Amino acid sequence: MKRQCAGAVWVSLVICYTVSPSHTLAQAPLSAPQEVQIFDTPNDGGGSLTAQWAPAPWDGPDVRYQVLVGAATATDPATFAIVAEFPANTKYVKDTKTAWWTRTADKAWHQAIIKSAQGIEVTDGTAYAVALAAIQGDQRVFSQVLVASPAANWFNWNQLNNLVIALAFGGLIFYAIHHAKRTNVFLRRIPGLDAVDEAIGRATELGKPVLYLTGAHGLQDPSTIAAAVILGGVAKRAAQYETELLVPHREPITMAICQEITKQAYLEAGKSDLFKEETNFFITEDQFSYTAAVDGIMLRKKPAANFFMGHYFAESLLLTETGASTGAIQIAGTDADHQLPFFVTTCDYTLIGEELYAASAYLSREPVQIGTLRGQDIGKAVILSVLAVGTVVATVGVVTGAQWPQIFLDLFRDLK
């Protein structure tokens, strides 16, 4: 009986010792933020400061940080304006969009960006006193006051990788152009180009003209430039077959350039005497007035071949439906993805997207265009390879929790 009582007393003592509040592990006492650093935000356009400080043992959702800003001559942080307040388990260096080659603190440190807010205007060249405060319940402790000035930076080192990639891609393009000037580069024949001879030949047999449109944009658009280059090939073949060519325009500068291209094509074909200035003519810049005029040409002259090259908008279906009603062979090429369904439906052949640019390089055989096309294809292959490798590396990082994959992924991130 005595043994049982003694055992019961011992168990009671153990339980009381375990659950007694006086013997629970005490939380770390609240203290001021440590190792605080205030400096101009690097790699930005100015107007901001950065605060970094070491994590504390008591960091958690029940504790809050405050960022306070005052005049450079002020010394009492209690009088400063509060520009930011957030829980103590947020705002880490790892959450910011910075690359590993620009980080100045450990990823576990806290970081806050100080910008203009209510009651304070952060301007370049002006010194500001900054302090941090930790708050828990009624307690509020301040860090030391530090002074810093914001300034604009000439270079964003976070985007150094983008610069290197752009230079590498540009070097690849120049190398491909240089290679194209020395070597005959193979270009795959686009099926739509095979129909060019067929369409012009059919127009010749029927004694009807060929209608060629260069799109809605001016020469500032790459698709219009490609359309003008393709016009040279079409005009040369029309000159050889002595077939009438009609090229209506809605942009005067494009008309002037296309006149020279057409003239050169007739000269190369040995048919300069057949060239007519009125082959290229201006109608109007208004979208639907131009469309109505071209539809009228289709219905009156009934061209046997219609070419729609360049960029188009809502007029695409109006033009191609009218052309289809006249029984003409229609060949289209555009990079306007929102108009591609209409061209595919109403035209016999369609150059989709970048095939328009490939066609201009194929017809002109210009080393610059061929080299650019070849360089872009190699660049796309590299990008697809990087995407595939990056997907695998990112997956490995998520599954294993390793940090090294982020070093690889940062090399190809677009960090602002």
Q: Residue 408: its pLDDT value, please?
A: 85
Q: What is the dihedral of CA 116, 119, 124, 128, to 10 degrees?
A: -120
pLDDT at 103: 86
* pLDDT > 90? residue 322: yes
SS3 282: strand
User: Cα(99)–Cα(162) distance, rounded to whole angstroms?
Assistant: 12
Banded model confidence at residue 13, pLDDT cuts 50, 70, 90: very low
All residues at 6 or more sequence positions from 130 whose CB lies less than 8 Å from its CB, including other chains: 38, 49, 51, 67, 68, 69, 70, 114, 145, 146, 147, 148
Binning pLDDT at 50, 70 and 90, where does residue 358 land? confident
**Within a 10 A sphere around the Cβ of 230, how many other Cβ atoms?**
28
Q: Which tens digit of pLDDT belongs to each residue from 280-291?
A: 999 999 999 999
The Cα 147–Cα 166 span in angstroms is 38
Q: 189: which DSSP letter?
A: P
Please state which of the ranges 23-32, 295-304, 354-363 shows the lowest mean pLDDT: 23-32
Whether 24 has a pLDDT exceeding 60, the answer reads: no
Confidence band of 325 (pLDDT split at 50, 70, 90): very high
Mean pLDDT value across residues 357-384:
88
Distance, in Å, from the CA atom of 285 to the CA atom of 264, rounded to the nearest integer, reads 26
Distance CA 239, CA 266 (A): 6
Q: Give the pair of three-digit tokens for residue 171.
A: 């070097």
Which pLDDT belongs to residue 246?
97
Q: What helix, strand, coil percent values describe the chain, rounded to 5?
A: 45, 20, 35
Residue 165 pLDDT greater than 80, yes or no = yes
Tokens 């040409």 locate to 297
Measured CA to CA in angstroms, residue 2 lies from 7, 8, 48 at distances of 9, 10, 76
Segment 108-123 mean pLDDT: 87
User: By the 8 A CB rule, do 356 and 192 touch?
Assistant: no
Indicate the pLDDT class of residue 117, thresholds 50, 70 and 90. confident
Provide the pairing of β-strand 64-71 with 139-142.
unpaired
What span, in angstroms and rounded, lies between the C-alpha atoms of 205 and 285? 34
Quote the pLDDT of residue 307.
96
For residue 280, the cross-strand partners are 247
pLDDT reported for residue 23: 38
How far is it, in rounded angstroms, from Cα 136 to Cα 218?
64
Q: Which residues contact 141 (CB under 8 A, 6 or more apart)?
A: 30, 31, 32, 133, 134
Domains with residue ranges and CATH for the chain: 37-148 (2.60.40.10), 158-179+380-410 (no CATH), 189-365 (3.40.50)
- Tell me, what's the pLDDT at 118? 65
pLDDT score of 188 more than 90: no
Percent residues over pLDDT 90 in the chain? 64
CA distances, 414 to each of 43, 72, 228, 372, 389 (Å):
14, 36, 35, 24, 17
State the average pLDDT over residues 188-215.
89
